Amino acid sequence: MPNLRDIRRKIEAVKKIGQITRAMNMVAAAKLRGAQARLEKFRPYGEKYREVIRELMSSGTVQASQFPLMEVREVRNVGLILVTADRGLCGAFNANLIKEAEKFVEERSREGQQVKFICVGRKGAQYFQKRAEVLEAYTDVMGRVLMQDARTIARRAMRAFLDGEIDEVYLIYGYFVNVVRQIPKREKLLPLSMEEGGAEEKPFEGAPIYEPSPEELLDQILPMYVNTRVFAAMLETAVSEQAARMTAMDNATRACGDMVRDLTLLFNKTRQASITKELMDIVGGAEALKKA
C-alpha cells in the first residue's frame, strides 16, 4: 500500500510542473505571434528577390558561366547548412531535423560524396560535432534571428563553395506550415541555377532596359539572394520552434492534469483503505474486550 505522504508529495510536485509547463506554453505563444508576424512580412520580400533574378536572367544576355555562384562542377564534397533550435522542450522538432540530415548524409554516402556541416543552432551542432565534419557552428543565434547572423553564415558557405572546399550547398530547416504542423524541408542553395528566380516567366511588353547591365546587377544581387535564403530558413525554423514548443507544453500541461487526477484518486482510495483498516482494528479490539 503506498504511503499517503508520498502520494501527497507527488501530487504537489506534478502540480508545480504543470504550472511551469503552462507558463512556458504562454511564453511560446507570445513569441510565436511576434516571430510569425516577421515571417509573414519577409516572405513577400524573398519572393520579390526571386522575381527580380528571374527577370534579369530572362534578358537574353546572361550566361550562367559568367557567375561563380552558378558554377556547376563534379560533386565530391557537399555542404549542408542545418538549421535547428538552440533549446529543447519542443517535442520532436529538433529530432526530426536531425533525422532528415542523417537521411541526407546516408543518401550522399551511397554516391561516394562527403557531407560537411555548417550547423546553425545548438541542438544540431551538439549532435553532429562528434559524428561528422563540422566546418562551422553558430549557436545562440536562433533566439533573435538577425540578418547580420544570416549574412555571416551565408558568407561562410559561399566562401567554401568558391574556394572549392565544397561543390554543392543544401539547406535543411523547419518549414512552418501552421501552428500544429512543422516539417523538415530540404533545399539546394548553391550553385544557383537559372530557375532560381521562380517557376514561370512573366511575359514582358517590350524589352526592359537595365542600368547598369544585368550582369553587373546580378553580381551584386546573387550574394544578397543567398543571404535572404539563409535568413528565411532561420526565420522559418524560429517560428516552427515556438509553435512546436507551444504544442508540446500544452500536451505536457494536460498530461500533468491527468496525472494529478489519477494520483488524487489513488490518494483517496489509499486513505479510505487506511480508515477502513483502522475501523476494523477498533471493532476487533472491542469484540476482544467483550469476550474477555
Is 256 labeled as catalytic in the residue annotation?
A: no
| DSSP, res 91 | T
Q: In 3-state terms, what secondary structure has residue 140?
A: coil
Annotated active-site residue in 69, 90, 142, 233? 90
Looking up cell 503506498 gives: 2
CA distances from 179 to 28, 86, 120, 184, 238 (A): 11, 20, 22, 14, 12
Q: In 3-state terms, what secondary structure has residue 202?
A: coil
Instruction: Say how far residue 187 (Cα) sits from the centre of its chain.
Output: 14
Burial 211-247 (b: 16+ CB within 10 A, else e): eeebeebbeebbbebbbbbbbbbbbbbbbbbbbbbbb
> How many other β-carbons are positioned within 10 Å of the β-carbon of residue 122?
20
Give start and end residues of each alpha helix (H) in the chain. 4-57, 93-110, 122-128, 147-162, 214-291
Cα(113)–Cα(168) distance, integer angstroms:
11
Cα(292)–Cα(287) distance, integer angstroms:
9
Q: Which residues are catalytic?
A: 90
